[in-house]
Amino acid sequence: MSDRVSIRVADLVGGSLCISAEDGQKVFEKVLPLLKKSKPINISFDHVDMVISLFLNVAIGQLYGSFSEDEVRALVRVEGLSGDDMELLKHVVDNAKKYYSNPKGYDAAWQEEEEEDEQ
């Protein structure tokens, strides 16, 4: 038996749709204490038909707020996602790394934006 703890996403969200932030949070809350104990985990997307960035931001992207890139890389494995969903996850992970490196930086450039008058 593998030493990795298996997190079966379809079981946690109760179905094949990974489309809400609330369900993403359920997964995150299972993963968080395991990683805090340095337990290697395997996040399985078997039996999941639909996954969107909103869910992945919360379930996985959010990990970078608590753990370093090295820790996540060493402890987390993902399986059961199709090639294009792996690409989506890659976007989410890259975006999360940027976000947590400078969470407020995204907004600063927009403080001066203004155009024609609106009500």
Residues 2-41 that bind another protein (CB under 8 A): 15, 17, 19-21
Burial of 69 (0-12, 13-18, 19+ CB in 10 A): middle
Secondary structure of residue 4 in the 3-state scheme: coil
Closest separation between CB of residue 36 and another protein, Å? 17
Nearest to 36, CA basis, from 79, 76, 96, 2: 76
Q: Say how many residues touch another protein, by CB under 8 A.
A: 50
Site stretch for another protein (CB under 8 A), options 3-11, 31-39, 83-91: 83-91
Closest separation between CB of residue 1 and another protein, Å? 19
The answer to whether 89 touches 53, Cβ cutoff 8 Å, is: no
Note the residues at the interface with another protein (CB under 8 A): 15, 17, 19-21, 50-54, 57-58, 61-62, 64-65, 69, 72-73, 76-79, 83-84, 86-93, 95-96, 98-100, 103, 106-107, 110-116, 118-119
